[in-house]
Amino acid sequence: MAKSIAVTEQCPMEIGLNVLSGKWKLKILWQVSKGAVRFNELQRRLGKITTKTLTQQLRELEEQKILARTVYPDNPPKVEYTLTDLGQSIHPVLKSLCDWGTAYQAAIPPINDSGEPLTDAAD
């Protein structure tokens, strides 16, 4: 579960890191920032995340007012996750992180499975 230190007692950077910490939260937020998504679709998009872990991460983000969970009374019940207004405010941060990752990827030479730089076969 998320750490329960009062938000007013923390440095703003610590607050941001607390909300975004963990292996899956940024990936979840990136997927949900693209539009409403159902649980199973989100799990498929994320790959090797367990149902338990995804449920736990979604609950934390919901408790932190970043995600909204909407249950539709269909049979079977349909549940969708979207960013709240507060959650929407993180979209520029996610976009900047993606842009930085793209620039970093371009600046670092590609490596093979052994961790060695790839060389051009023509060399």
CATH numbers and ranges of domains, the chain: 11-107 (1.10.10.10)
How remote is the C-alpha of 100 from its chain's centroid? Answer: 16
- Predicted local distance difference test score (pLDDT) of residue 114: 83
Give Dmax (Cα) for the chain: 63
Average model confidence (pLDDT) for the chain? 87
**Residue pLDDT, tens place only, 8-63:** 677 888 888 888 888 899 999 999 999 999 999 999 999 999 999 999 999 999 99
The residue assigned the tokens 């249950």 is 71
- Report whether 47 contacts 24 (CB < 8 A): no
Q: How far apart are CA 84 and CA 62, in angstroms?
A: 9
How many C-beta atoms lie closer than 10 Å to residue 50's C-beta? 10
Distance CA 86, CA 65 (A): 7
